[in-house]
Every structure is written in C-alpha cells, then in structure tokens.
Chains A and B, each alone.
Chain A
Amino acid sequence: MKAAFIAYNQAHVEEIESILRQLSIRGFTRWQDIQGRGTKTGEPHLGTHAWPAKNMATLCIVDDYIAPILKKRIQALDNDAPEQGLRIFFWEIIDV
C-alpha cells in the first residue's frame, strides 16, 4: 500500500475528487485553505494580497496497483494546466 499526498491549487478540487471517485479510492483526508509554494517554478499559493491563490491537500492510502494509474491521471491534469500547480507524492505504508 502507498500513501499518496496530492497538493494542489484549490481550483482543482472538483477534478481531483472526480479522479479519486473514478479510481474507486474511497478513503482520504483533506486539508482546506492551506498555503504552499513549488520547489522550482510556479506562483506561490499563500492566500495573501500578493499571492491570493490557496492550496488544498488530499492524503489517500491506495493499493500498489492503483498508484501508477493515479499518478498518470494527476500528471495529465497538471499538464493540461501547468500554471495552476499540482503535485503528487507517494510513500510506503508500513503498517495499517
């Protein structure tokens, strides 16, 4: 099992939800109204006057075979609108 952490511009919320639904990922944890900034490129999402956009993050634990599919879908979404800002990170789950 893998933990997938998706950090994204809050404008993506509906697309992310729909991807998770399509992949039958039921369980998730979500943070609203959070701030973040990309490591290399992209605008910061800080919810301030200068950078009014904000982030959301979703953490979901998925089966190993789902992970690459999820990654592909998320990256496709990111490529469609690269300026929006969207990242997915995976790490192993040791125990449940």
Chain B
Amino acid sequence: MKLYESSVKKPITTSLVFIAIIVLGLFSLSRLSIDLMPEIEMNQAYVIVTYPGASAEDVENNVTKVMESALSTVSDLKKLTSTSKENTAIIGCEFEWGIDIDGAVNDMRDKIELVKQMLPDGCSNPMILKISTDMMPISILSATAKESTNALYKILDDGVANPLNRISGVGAVSISGAPQREIIVNCDPTKLEAYNLTVEQIGSIVSQENLNTPGGSIDIGSETYSLRIEGELEESALLNDIVVANYGGKNIFLRDIAYVSDTIQEKAQESYVNGVKGATIVIQKQTGANSVNVMNKIRAELPKIQKNLPKDIHLQEVMNTTDNIENSIASLVETFVLACLFVVIVVLFFLGEWRATIIIMVTIPVALISSFIYLFISGNTLNVISLSAISIALGMVVDDAIVVLENVTTHVERGSKPREAAIYGTNEVAVAVIATTLTLLAVFFPFTMMTGMAGIMFKQLGWMICIIMIVSTASALSLTPMMCSIMLKREKDKKHNKLFLTVYQPISVFLDKLDNAYERLLTWAVRHKTVTIIIAVVMFGASIFGMTRLGSEFIPASDNGQITGSIELPSGANVERSKEIAARLGEKIKKIPEIRTYTYTVGTPSEDDDNSFAMMNTSGSNYISFRIRLYDYKDRKKSMFEVAEELRKEIDTYTEVKKFSVTAGGDGGMTSGSTIDLEIFGHDFETTGRIADSVKVAMEKIPGLKDVIIDREDYKPQFQVDFDREKLALNGLSVGAASSYIRNRINGLTASVFREDGEEYKIKIRYDRAHRQSVEDIENILIYNSAGKAVRVSEVANVVESMEPPSIERQDRERIVKVTAKLYGTTLDVASAKIQEAVDKMDIPTEIGTKIGGSIEDQQDTFSDMTLLLVLILMLVYIVMAAQFESLRYPFIIMFSVPFAFVGLVLSLVITNETINLMSMIGAVMLVGIVVKNGIVLVDYINLNRERGMGISQSVISGGKSRLRPVLMTSATTVLGMVPMALGIGEGSELWQPMGIAIVGGLTVSTLVTLVVIPVMYCVFASREIVKYRNKHSLKLNRRKA
C-alpha cells in the first residue's frame, strides 16, 4: 500500500505519528540552548618562545626564522605570521576554516619538537596557545566606588569575583582597574649610604623578621605539644620598628632610613565608568558552556551580590554578549510570526476556504518543529542561522501541500468522495511533488558540503532546510491527503454564510479577471514571439548593466549596539596626558543620547594582574581603550555606525592623538564590518616604513576609508644603561649582578609578604619616588661587589637616551608592514581598486612587494566558493529536471527562468541600495531552486495538454491559464514569507536583509516573467521540434518516392 493510501485509511495512526513528531520537536526545543552563531572552532594557534636578553632582530634571526621554517610545513596552514620583539617571539598559525584544530596543534607540536635543538641556548620551551572563542569575555561589569576606592580590589575579589566563580559555567573572573594593596618601604639612598646599607640587605632583614617557623613538637608528660615561633608582623606599621643595623652602639630602625607606606599599587591600569573611576570585572565562561545560560545565572546572582556590597559600590553591566543574542533571536521570532501571518493570508486569499487553509497551515508547524529534533540530536543550538533557515523554509513548506490539496479538490468537485479523491488525487501529483522537492534538495544539499567561512554559516542552514523540505513533502503525501479525506466537502454540499460571501465575492471576481487577463496576455505573447523574446533579452541586458553598478562587500555589518576603540598618544606620553584626553572624550560621549554606558581604560596593567583578557590587548601609558554600549536598537535614533562616525570626527579634532581607531560592532566576531589592509613586504625597515607612510597618506584621501593606521609600532624612547665590561670586571662585578641592583632600586625588590585575614600582600622595597626621577638618580645608584666595595653606576656605565626598535612583524616568512583601514560608506571592491590605483602610481622598489588583504581576502575566497556552488547547483537542478521529464529540452526551457531571477535580484538590490555580499549571493543561489519550481509546474502541465491532443499554442495558453493560480500562490507564499526578513526588523536584521531582498526581488520578477517567457520559449522549441520531425519525415517519403 502506498503512503498516502495507508495514511488516508488509517487517520488515527497518521495524526498520532505527526503529533508525536511535534511533541518530540517541542521537547527538543525546550532543551535547546540559545547562541548567536553555530559553534565555531577558531582556526588560530600561537607559539610563544622567550629568549631572554635578545633584541628584536636577534630573536627574529635565531628563533622566529627557525620556528617559521618548521611550522610552514604544517598541513592546512593558511597564513603564518610572527612578531619578534625583545625577549619574545610569537608565531601565529592561521588554518583553513573548518579543520580539526586539535589535530593541527598536534601537528605543530611534532614539527616544533624536530627543531627544538636548533634553538639557541637559553631559549624557553616553545609554548603553544590555542585561540578559542571562550577567551572572549561574556560579560564585563564595572564597579564604581567613593569611600571604598582604596579597598576596592579586596571587596570586589571577596564580594563579587568569588560568588560569581561559584556559578557553574563561569570560567575566570578577573578584576582590573582596582589597584591592589601593597606595602612599600621607600628608602632614602643618602641615608642608606650613610649607614652603609643596601636595598638587598634591608630586603633580607625584612624577610627574616617576618617569618613564622614551626619548631617541632615536645612531649610534656603524656601530652604532645607542637611548638611554633610566630615572627610574622601583625600590622604593617610594625615594619617601622625592625632593627636594620647597629651603628655606633645604637640600633638603627627601618623608620630611620625609610618610610613605610601601606598603600595601593603605584602604577596600575585605571578604568573609568561613565566618567567615574572604578574597576572592571571581566567574566569569561568555561569551555563549552552556553553563554546565555551562564549569563542568566549571573544576572540572577547579581542583585544578591550587590546587596552584600558596601553602599557606595555600584555594579553595572558594561558589556555583555547575550543581549545581542537574545535580541537577534527575538527579532527573528518576530519576523517568523509575521511571515506566518502573511502565508495564512495568501492561502486564504487564493483558496477562499478556511477548511483548505487549515489543511495547508498544519504542514507549517509539523515541518518546522521537526527540525528542532535535528538540532537537538546533532547537539546544535538555536541560533541566528537555524532560525533563519526556518524563516526561509516557511514559505516553501506549504507548496507541496498546496499542490496536493489543489488536485484533491479537483477530484472532489468532479464527484469523488473525499476519501477516494484524497488517495487518487494525491497519487496523480505524488511524482511531481517529489520532483520539485528534489530540485530544492539539489540546491540546499550542496550547502551542507560548503567549506571555509561560508561553510560554518551555511552548513547548518543547508541541513535544516533539507530536513524541513523532506518532512514537508512527507506530510504533504500523508497528513494532507488524510486531512483532505476528512475535512473537504463538495462545493454544492457547502453552506456559505453571508459575511463570507460579501468578503470573498470580490476576491473571487478579481481572480477570475486575473485569469482572463493572463490568458489574453499569453495569447498575444505566443503570437508575437520575437517581440516578447527581444523584450526579455533587453531586460536581461539592462540588469547586467545594473550589476556593474552594484558594489560588493563580504558580510553586511550588523548593529549590535557596541562600539570599541583605542586612542594612542605619541609614545612616551605619560598616563596623566592620556587621562586628560580620555576625560575630554568622556565629556563628548556624555552628550550623545544614544549611549547608555561608556568605560575607558588608561595605562598598563600591573605585572601581577591575573587578567588574561587585559594581557591580550595592547596597553601602555600612552594608550586609551574605550568601550561603549548603546541603547537597544529600537530605542535610539542613530545607528551604531553613525555614532561611531561621530566619535571619529570628535577624536580627529584632538591634535595630540597620534593614531586612533573606532570599531563599530565591538571587537571580534564576523559581523563587525569590513577592513582593508595594504600589506607591504620587504626586509628593510626604512624603505617599508617610508612606503607605509606614503600609502597611509594616499589611503586617507580615499573617501570611505576610516581609521587608517600603520600597524608597525613606533620606536619608543628609553634610557639605556650601557655597562663597561672592563670596568665592571675591575670592580669584581658582572652585568647580571649590576643590573639587578638597578632593578631593585627602581622597580623594587619584593622582599616578603604581609599576611592579613588570609590574604597576602607584597612587601616591596625600593627607592623613594623623589630619588628615582632623573638620569642622575640612576647614575648615583651604588653597586656593591662581593667584597663590599661600592661603585656608582656612573663609574661603570653610561646612561644614554635611545630609541627602542619596534617589534618585527612577519607574514609568510617575510617582514611586513600593514596599513589598515575600516570601511564606512564605501564597498570593498571600490576601495581596493582605488588603493591599488594609488599604489600603482607610487615609485616602489622591485624588492618590495605589496598586496591588498583584510576582509577582501575572505571575500574573494568565499565568492569563488559561491560561484562554484552556483555552477554545481545549476547542474544538479538540471539533472533532477531532466530525469523528471526524461528530456534534455524541457529543463533547458525551464532554466530560462533563472536569468530573470537575476534581473529581479539586481533590480531590487539597486533600488534598496544594497551590495552584493555573501548574503545576497546565498539568496541568488537559493533562487535557482525556488524559481525553477514555477517552470516545472508550467511545463509539466503544458506537456500534459499536448499529450491530451491539444495543439502547441492551445496547450500553452490553456496550460498557463490553469496553472496561474498555483504558481502565483506558491510564489506569493515564498515571497511574503521573506518580506519580513527583507524589511529588516529588529536587531541583527542587517545580516539577513540582503538575502531577503534578493529572494523577494528575484522571485517576484522571475515569476512574472516566467509566466510569459517560458510558454513562449516552449512554443519556439516545440515548433522547431515539429519542423524537424516533418523534415525528417518528408525526407523519408522523398527517399521512398525516389
């Protein structure tokens, strides 16, 4: 028994099977976690090697080059970059998207093992670091305080970080911007000298005085007692009373030569939240934890945490990744609901019957909800991609059911009982339904095989749509006939109420008029084939012309309400100057109504900050980084991009700023807009630097390029102590020993730790600030040799001011300088053409290579992938159709609907001022499958008419007329299902808008043109066929006669 037959005969089984599917789907939905994108395995890994004491160039020659030659043989490597700076080499490997990163890292480890011996002595073991998305913070909180500022770190550590850490799924919680407590012994060098003391001696005395020692145990009688010597200081002030020397019979106390300050770290990164100084708390999640779930738990916990904090400390969310996720998902759900409504209206409009509408509508939840089962089983999340897949499929899932219902209705009207009509009516169209589904699968199945960046985005989409399509076909062949058999009635058995008639009568008249008008148009077109074809060709030609006017970009940037940026002052500028600039920017930011919160950070994180996120970012006393959170998309007037542009203009007026960048969309992620780089390869620093400067000037003149930055760091001013080895040797000193003397006095010597309430604080000994402020102060430092003889630094060394060479950046084993820019209001292809033009005009030596990189590389890769995909899909669709018609000619005729899809696509993109990007290209690829469906329906019916004995023109006209409504109806459901997406409602919709526009435009134009051009083309080919047949036949006759 066939599927539809058994399902009509067993309505209970059929309905229960589908109810089971829905229940399972809903269960899966309740278990699905929410995320922005499908899980992406990052494709980068770093190797870090330290080579203490080596300069950047030494590191480059002895470490970087060795590592590079080993790592360049790792398979699937896309790009090899390296940074060589003083003491350290960092080699970055970027792999192809979608490879197994663990395998790649193992491969790297093997290669490194081979060359390890070739590294110079004194090198550390190479350390491999895998970059993962988990390193990005899921949330950043800020804490502002008034009275508690000095104790902020401890309060936050105990009161916020620890409770947060206990939440499952929360990884590291780190606090920055709150200076930690430190106890500093500020020595006066003159007094030290007078008493013949050194910082080192004081250090060892302090550590000896601040000690708890277990003294073993003693037995007294039958009891055992343990013995402890409690020498640790109970209060930091007690340090003052330590006796450091005995001079002339008198005790010298620490307070005599130094003053002890129980204070907070001198140099630390300072954070400001909405202009108020505070601390930031960076929360990272554990690997594999779901951001939204973790964030919800954190949010639930925060009010309790806030309650336990001192009154003056206020916690505030500065950044979180989950708002954007939730808003994007919510806006997609909204889009989906709207699309559902549109589809219902279309079906009701064409069928004019609620029973039929219900039969068709039931397919939607069945097919869509079943896809959640797939998501759950495959361990995926409910994300933007999977939800978009559902939205895209929405208009298509009803098509099969419509075809089945339409045929069953015909049978019922002819007098069959609904039961029989359902079985035999479905039987007649089953093959056609399966064939149209196969053409769609031919389009969407290749999506699942895509590689690269696009593969990550569209693999899941491909699977989702394939599964939805298969389920919808299965439902159209079982559930729909079953419901038809129960619910349909013959027209003459129906009772219509008055209201229905008044509403539907005009629609019905309109549809009849439409049928007739179409018949007249088709009759005209069939009689004027040449004119029709010329008009069509002109339309296509015009769209090719329109195509040249379209710009291109990679992925449309979407507005997630986050802006980050950085400002760099000339190197050597101190924190005070940076703070002043930051405060000025803060004043400006306050006046922009779209901004909800802003934070900025100035200065270098202290060495013992455990904040890995801060470590990854560039920092320095001349460096300001800021982060802005805007209000929700619907609550503000300006877009994120406009606000970013406003900030750029403001910062541009600050003359002291050396370079700056403003990134709309926040750092990281695929949707933060496009960048374009000019990569300059060449060994000589000066030449490449000069070229980079002139490229920068040229690029700044190109409209639409923002934040033009040369990525090579500047030479930094520094004081260098050059020891004279001979003089050192005469004094019995080594460079190592001598330099540690300088370090202990300037940077400080950590002598011991002070314990209080279970916490440890460092006790640091160093020169008082007043004695470490000039070159003379350094020169006056006394260095003692092992014999206790002292020499001044000035006697054995020269202190000179010099420039520290920048770090050496390399890419693919060559030195590189990048001039990078962000795009605003221009497109990638235009910008890269202009940059290339500017570079071509420059006089660049032959040994220097240039290349345009950045997003354009990804774009080119992906666009060539997409073109290949398009060709593959066209072939597959042709094969499926050829198999269905068992003919090579008819699929060819149907393929004529594809060019007109592109006409509509180009037209709609030009009108809406969109670009050709990954999303609109995906739309174009999908169109292939969607538009040929109309052609299949038309040609199939025209063929049927011819087989029934009609002439060509008559078959075409009557076939066209009878298929007009089904074609319009299925196209309208698909188009209107996409309209909400094309309108771009809500946050994150920018991403999908081009695709929606492409499909709406392409399908509309293609449907209208297909309805005329395909019948005409059919006439042309069929007539030729007949002429050929006649010629052949008459040839035979002639031969016979001869």
Contacts and interface: CB of A to CB of B under 8 A. Distances in A.
Given A81-B415, A81-B416, A51 B421 contact: no
A49 interface: yes
A29 interface: no
A12 B419 CA distance: 10
A39 interface: no
Interface stretch (B144-152, B355-363, B679-687, B940-948): B940-948
Interface string A1-27: 000000001111111000000000000
Interface in A9-60: 9-15, 48-54
Contacts of B947: 48-50
B161 to A, nearest CB: 73
B424 A11 contact: yes
A61 B411 CA distance: 31
A54 B54 CA distance: 91
Contacts of A84: 414-416
A83 B420 contact: no
Interface string B395-419: 0000000000000000100111101
A51 B948 contact: yes
B948 A10 contact: no
A11 to B, nearest CB: 4
Contacts of B417: 11, 14-15
A90 B421 CA distance: 28
Contacts of B944: 49-50
Residue among B411, B414, B415, B943 with the most chain A CB within 10 A?
A: B415
B419 A52 contact: no
A81 B418 CA distance: 13
Nearest to B946: A50
B428 interface: yes
A53 B428 CA distance: 8
Interface residues of B, number: 15
Contacts of B424: 10-11, 53-54
Nearest to A44: B948
A14 B420 CA distance: 8
A93 B948 CA distance: 39
Residue in A12, A81, A84 whose Cβ sees the most chain B Cβ within 10 Å? A81
Main secondary structure of the interface of A (DSSP, over half): loop
A80 interface: yes
Max chain A C-beta neighbours (<10 A), residue from B416, B417, B424: B416
Interface string A52-96: 111000000000000000000000000011111000000000000
B414 A52 contact: no
B948 A11 contact: no
B672 interface: no
Contacts of A50: 944, 947-948
A12 B944 CA distance: 24
B427 interface: yes
B415 A83 contact: yes
Contacts of A11: 411, 416-417, 420-421, 424
Nearest to A80: B415
A35 B947 CA distance: 16
Nearest to B413: A83
B633 to A, nearest CB: 53
A9 B428 CA distance: 14
B420 A52 contact: no
A22 to B, nearest CB: 16
B494 to A, nearest CB: 16
Nearest to B420: A11
Nearest to B423: A11
Contacts of B943: 49
A10 B419 CA distance: 12
A38 to B, nearest CB: 14
Nearest to B943: A49
A20 B424 CA distance: 22
A35 B248 CA distance: 132
Interface in B408-451: 411, 414-417, 419-421, 424, 427-428
B946 to A, nearest CB: 8
Interface in B294-342: none
Contacts of B415: 80-84
Interface in B182-213: none
Contacts of B419: 14
Given A11-B411, A11-B421, A52 B416 contact: no
Given A80-B415, A83-B415, A84-B414, A12 B948 contact: no
Nearest to B947: A50
A50 B416 CA distance: 19
A51 B943 CA distance: 12
A13 B420 CA distance: 8
Contacts of B414: 81, 83-84
Contacts of A82: 415
Given A11-B420, A84-B416, A52 B948 contact: no
Contacts of A15: 417
A53 B407 CA distance: 12
A11 B427 CA distance: 12
A82 B427 CA distance: 22
A54 B944 CA distance: 16
A67 to B, nearest CB: 24
Interface string B915-953: 000000000000000000000000000011001100000
A52 B427 contact: yes
A52 B428 contact: yes
Interface in B27-53: none
Nearest to B419: A14
Nearest to B945: A50
A2 B1032 CA distance: 55
Nearest to A52: B428
B686 to A, nearest CB: 79
Nearest to B431: A49
A78 to B, nearest CB: 9
A15 B943 CA distance: 33
A51 B424 CA distance: 12
B681 to A, nearest CB: 65
Nearest to A51: B948
Contacts of A53: 424, 428
B419 to A, nearest CB: 7
A47 B428 CA distance: 9
A91 to B, nearest CB: 28
Nearest to B940: A49
A14 B850 CA distance: 81
A52 B947 CA distance: 12
A80 B414 CA distance: 9
Contacts of B411: 11
A10 B414 CA distance: 13
A49 B417 CA distance: 23
Contacts of A12: 416, 420
A80 B417 CA distance: 11
B651 to A, nearest CB: 71
Contacts of B427: 52
Contacts of B428: 52-53
A13 B428 CA distance: 17
A81 B420 CA distance: 13
Nearest to B425: A11
Interface string B799-819: 000000000000000000000
Nearest to A15: B417
Interface in B100-133: none
A65 B424 CA distance: 35
11 contacts: A10-B420, A11-B420, A11-B424, A12-B420, A15-B417, A48-B947, A49-B943, A49-B944, A51-B948, A81-B416, A84-B415
Given A11-B411, A12-B420, A52-B428, 19 more contacts: A9-B416, A10-B420, A11-B416, A11-B417, A11-B420, A11-B424, A12-B416, A13-B420, A14-B417, A48-B947, A49-B944, A49-B947, A50-B947, A50-B948, A53-B424, A81-B415, A81-B416, A82-B415, A84-B414
Interface of A: 9-15, 48-54, 80-84
Pairs A-B, 4 closest by C-beta atoms: A81-B415, A50-B947, A11-B420, A11-B416
